[in-house]
């Protein structure tokens, strides 16, 4: 279960991600600096399978993973979906990511949606792309904010959170409004909220990614966003890629 939204600027983008998990699941490790295939990458680590659900690399490519609970799980031994982010997070842009995605043996993975944010993504250039596997077939298509996953009552969750998002941006999109949304509650049904609370599961962390021509950074806050998500907390937890990194331009 997760909620993701994004904000596009004239010089880059921001990503807002609530991760929801079962209460018994082990806590994730905060963002780590990794070198994968010679590329510098930031990602938090899920200690269960040593994978991740979100990453940003030195080129400015961001990936985030949502489980597709409504898909058909293939038979046989499966690879953790968190390994997908690790495997693909060294790609330079959507073009090379698409080529790498086409080589995957998808039948080894449970269904998922992988959202990809190109280094050149801005308000006026390109679109966020979704790489989806439903257990039977794959599809690649443009996607618009926001996007949700849930193993319980997905349709009503999508409706409730989608309406909350529309109400949030009615007066215009901004970072402060989206931060407030990701820590918000549905007063009557907490499992419909962006900051989700159920008897068996809850929102366990919030991740913010920002990519500009000058810096690529990730801020990670463990725990329920309703308790600790503030701009000051995000600033304290911000981790940046090396300062010499710049968004590289690629010919398509």
Task: For residue range 74-117, list pLDDT tens digits in order.
Answer: 999 999 999 999 999 999 999 999 999 999 999 999 999 999 99
Q: Quote the CA–CA distance of 87 and 7 in Å, as a whole number.
A: 26
pLDDT tens per residue across span 46-55: 998 899 999 9
Q: Which pLDDT band, with edges at 50, 70 and 90, does 119 fall under?
A: very high
Angle, nearest 10°, between helix axes 175-182 and 154-168?
A: 150
| Statement: the pTM of the whole predicted model exceeds 0.75 | yes
Give me the residue spans of the domains in the chain. Answer: 2-240
Q: Residues near 191 by Cβ (< 8 Å), separated by ≥ 6?
A: 152, 153, 157, 197, 198
CATH number for region 2-240: 3.60.60.10
Closest CA to 133 of 149, 150, 117, 114: 114
pLDDT band at 247; cut points 50, 70, 90: very low
| Angstrom distance (rounded) from CA 142 to CA 139 | 10
């Amino acid at each position: 279960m997760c909620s993701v939204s994004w904000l596009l600027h004239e010089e880059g983008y921001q990503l807002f991600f609530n991760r929801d998990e079962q209460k018994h699941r082990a806590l994730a490790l905060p963002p780590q600096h990794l070198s994968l295939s010679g590329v510098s990458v930031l990602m938090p680590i899920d200690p269960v399978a040593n994978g991740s659900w979100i990453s940003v690399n030195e080129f400015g490519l961001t990936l985030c993973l949502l489980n597709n609970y409504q898909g058909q799980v293939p038979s046989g031994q499966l690879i953790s979906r968190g390994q997908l982010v690790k495997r693909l997070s060294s790609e330079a842009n959507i073009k090379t990511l698409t080529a790498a995605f086409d080589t995957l043996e998808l039948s080894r993975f449970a269904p998922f949606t992988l959202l990809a944010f190109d280094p050149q993504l801005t308000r006026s250039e390109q679109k966020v792309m979704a790489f989806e596997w439903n257990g039977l077939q794959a599809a690649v298509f443009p996607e618009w904010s926001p996007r949700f996953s849930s193993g319980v009552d997905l349709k009503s969750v999508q409706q409730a959170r989608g309406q909350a998002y529309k109400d949030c941006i009615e007066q215009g999109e901004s970072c402060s409004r989206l931060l407030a949304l990701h820590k918000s509650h549905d007063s009557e049904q907490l499992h419909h909220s962006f900051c989700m609370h159920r008897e068996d599961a809850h929102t366990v962390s919030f991740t913010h990614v920002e990519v500009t021509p000058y810096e690529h950074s990730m801020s990670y806050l463990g725990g329920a966003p309703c308790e600790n998500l503030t701009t000051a907390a995000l600033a304290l937890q911000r981790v940046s890629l090396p300062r010499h990194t710049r968004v590289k331009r690629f010919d398509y």
